[in-house]
Amino acid sequence: MAAFGSVFMPQMALTRFEQGAWSTPQIVPADSISLHPGAHVLHYASTCFEGLKAFKHGDGSINLFRMEKNVARLIQSSGLLSLPQPDAATLSNMIIDIVRQYASDVPEPPGSMYIRPTHIGTEAAIGKAAAPTASSMLYVLLSPVGDYFAGGSKPLRLLLEQNGARCAAHMGMVKSGGNYASALQPILKARASVQADQVLFCPGGDVQETGAANFLLIDGNEIITKALDSSFLHGVTRDSVLTLARDMGMVVSERELSVAELLERAAKPGTEAALSGTAAVLTPVGTLIADGVEHKVGSGEAGPATIKLRQALNDIQWGRAEDKHGWLTRI
Ligand SMILES: Cc1ncc(COP(=O)(O)O)c(C=O)c1O
């Protein structure tokens, strides 16, 4: 199986913002785009993107999961980066059109079609460090993906980073390329020094998120995660898992979680922790490494609540349980 996100469908949907207006979206080859070397995005990182999935159901239908949320987040990210804001209906139709085009390439569960809307500032203007791009390009790439956990979902090891942050505090809620580049060095160091899978960013002891997923702590009937603010990404999977947890009668606490409280709760035998994200779905966390000390989370293995929530989410995505919340768009 090819690495996640390394195979692309040959075409994509694309629209350009030029002279104050968006062009009619078109389906174009996805192997290259042409950009001036002075394009705003290449110098001043005017870029944001999204990640969502289309699933094939047993009846052969293709279903997008919570597309509205990802469309809204891309519009929000664009606004916060001073990129032109696309129209929700236009972007939704671009996603639907290109996924329809490749409906027969959507893998069966546990695989899916990963959808990557991308928005970049294209104006050739290296003098615009402190001014927005006047033009942009928005395209929707497709990448068929298999089971992220083909090798089994071994509980993850997370290094708790209590000094540095993933990105600037006001940028966490923006899904922008620069945030990922800024988190790379801490992640590479954590891999090399303590064989951590990911870094859990906890600046000043405030438990936030990892490089590409949200963090959830499950203690008995309670699920605890940081309340939404500008410092971290408002994950669609996080919101979905919290909704399913409420449906199951769990207590959902969206509030500040300190490293001290996290480690105290993790030491209890039944505690579980997990990462949530479109790619990760819900991945168990077995070990937390803080100040050079390894702490097991509960038993250190995938816990029953994590497995149950993950299954409940997959069942809806895969068309095996009723879509009570109207999360699927059948196309
Ligand atoms: C930094 C970050 N946090 C959280 C998430 C999870 O978000 P979502 O559930 O919308 O995929 C992602 C993944 O997209 C991410 O990159």
Neighbouring residues of 86: CB distance < 8 A, sequence distance ≥ 6: 15, 17, 22, 74, 75, 78, 119, 138
- Point out which residues pair with 22 in neighbouring strands: 17
Give per-residue pLDDT as tens, 126-138.
Answer: 999 999 999 999 9
Confidence band, pLDDT 50/70/90 cuts, at residue 2: confident
Nearest CA to ligand 1 atom 3: 213
Nearest CA to ligand 1 atom 6: 277
Asked if residues 300 and 287 have their Cβ atoms less than 8 Å apart, the reply is yes
Query: What value does the mean pLDDT of the chain take?
Result: 96
Q: What is the C-alpha separation between 176 and 83, in angstroms, rounded? A: 12
In terms of DSSP H, where are the helices of 63-216? Answer: 67-80, 88-101, 177-194
* Whether the predicted pLDDT of 212 surpasses 70: yes
pLDDT at position 269: 96
Find the helix or strand (DSSP H, E) in which 143 lies.
Answer: strand 136-145
Side-chain half-sphere exposure of 123, counting CA atoms within 13 A: 19
Query: Residue 32: is it exposed, middle or buried by C-beta count within 10 angstroms (0-12/13-18/19+)?
Result: exposed
* Whether the predicted pLDDT of 174 surpasses 60: yes
Confidence band, pLDDT 50/70/90 cuts, at residue 3: confident
Query: Residue 3: is it exposed, middle or buried by C-beta count within 10 angstroms (0-12/13-18/19+)?
Result: exposed
Pocket of ligand 1 (CB under 6 A): 51, 209, 212-214, 233, 235-238, 276-278
Neighbouring residues of 151: CB distance < 8 A, sequence distance ≥ 6: none
Atom of ligand 1 nearest to the CA of 166: 1
Task: Identify the residue whose tokens are 């966490």.
Answer: 172
Sign, CA torsion 255/261/265/266: positive
Average pLDDT over residues 3-30: 96
pLDDT at position 151: 56
Nearest CA to ligand 1 atom 7: 235
Give per-residue pLDDT as tens, 237-279.
Answer: 999 999 999 999 999 999 999 999 999 999 999 999 999 999 9
Query: Residue 260: is it exposed, middle or buried by C-beta count within 10 angstroms (0-12/13-18/19+)?
Result: exposed
From 73, 148, 175, 215, mutation site for ligand 1 pocket: most ligand atoms within 8 A of C-beta: 175
Question: Cα Rg for the chain, rounded, in angstroms?
Answer: 20
Atom of ligand 1 nearest to the CA of 236: 10
CB-CB neighbours of 221 under 10 Å: 11
Min mean pLDDT across 4-18, 97-111, 150-164 is at 150-164
Q: What is the dihedral of CA 262, 264, 266, 269, to 10 degrees?
A: -160
Neighbouring residues of 70: CB distance < 8 A, sequence distance ≥ 6: 50, 51, 52, 117, 236
Confidence band, pLDDT 50/70/90 cuts, at residue 121: very high
User: Which of 155, 94, 84 is CA-nearest to residue 121?
Assistant: 84
For ligand 1, the distance from its centroid to the CA atom of residue 52, given in whole angstroms, is 10
Helix (H, G, I), strand (E, B) or coil at 310: helix
Asked if residues 316 and 323 have their Cβ atoms less than 8 Å apart, the reply is yes
For ligand 1, the distance from its centroid to the CA atom of residue 125, given in whole angstroms, is 31
Average pLDDT over residues 201-210: 98
pLDDT at position 66: 98
Q: Among residues of the chain, what percentage have pLDDT more than 70?
A: 98
pLDDT at position 187: 97
Atom of ligand 1 nearest to the CA of 238: 9
Q: Do strands 156-161 and 281-290 pair parallel, antiparallel, or not at all (unpaired)?
A: parallel
Confidence band, pLDDT 50/70/90 cuts, at residue 4: confident
pLDDT at position 1: 65
Average pLDDT over residues 157-176: 97
